Amino acid sequence: MPWLAVSFSERWVDWSYWQNDGSLLHRPFDVDAFCQAHPYVEGAILRAVWPNGNTDQHYAHYFDGFTQAGKKVAAYVWPNPQKSVPAQVDDWKRGLGDRVPKLIGQDYEDAATFVGATPTQLTSLMRACWEAAHAHFPQSAHINYSRGSWLSAKIIAGEWIHAIKWWMAHYISTHETQYIAAKHWTEIDVKLPISNNFTPGRGPVRVENVIGWQFSSSGQIVPKGTSDMDYMLRDFIGAIYGGIGPPPPPAIPVPVEIRAPTGKISVTVTEI
């Protein structure tokens, strides 16, 4: 089927230190205010560590805030080719602390710590970190995040890569050079579903292993900076967090104004 029909998905955000209140103090953003403004968002995936392995300063705040708001919470960590796998696991454990979620992702894209690493080294890193994550966080489900073009250029794919579930970046453009900078999920909803036939968005990843898409990295939905806007497969998330998930959120009402001289128009509105 085309990926991703809105009715089969959940709207998620992914947040880190960069989503803040806009002050010079770089304080974390008020999660309650965000959830009140965007009640249809069902989950958040939060960065636990920076690419160098340091703990994300806002992880605990956002984890607690989204949890208390009744949202599903996941985390993502960065593999680091400059460190041994045991040292990376130590970073992940320190960053997550006692807030280990039901779903953990690993982020594979360009970062300063990846500079100079060869495809062979990055392939070995990905395989070793995937195994280590399962060994050290056995109660959590696991996914990887990347872009299809990055995987094609940086990873020597084999049959092993098809054992991994993927959350992929594929940014929707308003035209050839401008990614959509949405202020509301409805601006992305109207562009879905996308075709499954394209390859730049998936690289070597099979369609059946894509469980989520990051369709915009330019969401205008926080006071400072931008926020990623994600869609996750409802069945995949439901199997991790319990049940098959709630029914799809209702369509967000679209305001309509009609101006006409008095007595010159007759309108019937039927909700379906």
H helices of 114-223, where?
119-136, 148-154, 186-189
Domain 6-241's class? alpha beta
Query: Would you say residue 199 has pLDDT above 50?
Result: no
**Angle between the 85-96 and 119-136 helix axes, to the nearest 10 degrees?**
50
CB 11 within 8 A of CB 34: no
Predicted TM-score (pTM) of this structure? 0.83
CB atoms within 10 A of CB 28: 17
Mean pLDDT, all residues of the chain: 84
pLDDT confidence band for 245 (50 / 70 / 90)? very low
Give the residues across from 105 on adjacent strands. Answer: 76, 143
Distances in Å between the Cα of 89 and the Cα atoms of 51, 62, 269 are 13, 22, 58
Per-residue pLDDT at 198: 45
**Mind listing the pLDDT tens digit for each residue in 162-188?**
999 999 887 776 555 566 677 777 777
Structural domain boundaries of the chain? 6-241
Mean pLDDT computed over 102-121 = 95
CB 56 within 8 A of CB 16: yes
* Cis peptide leading into residue 4 (ω within 30°): yes
Question: 200: left (phi > 0), else alpha (psi -120 to 50), else beta?
Answer: alpha
Per-residue pLDDT at 75: 98
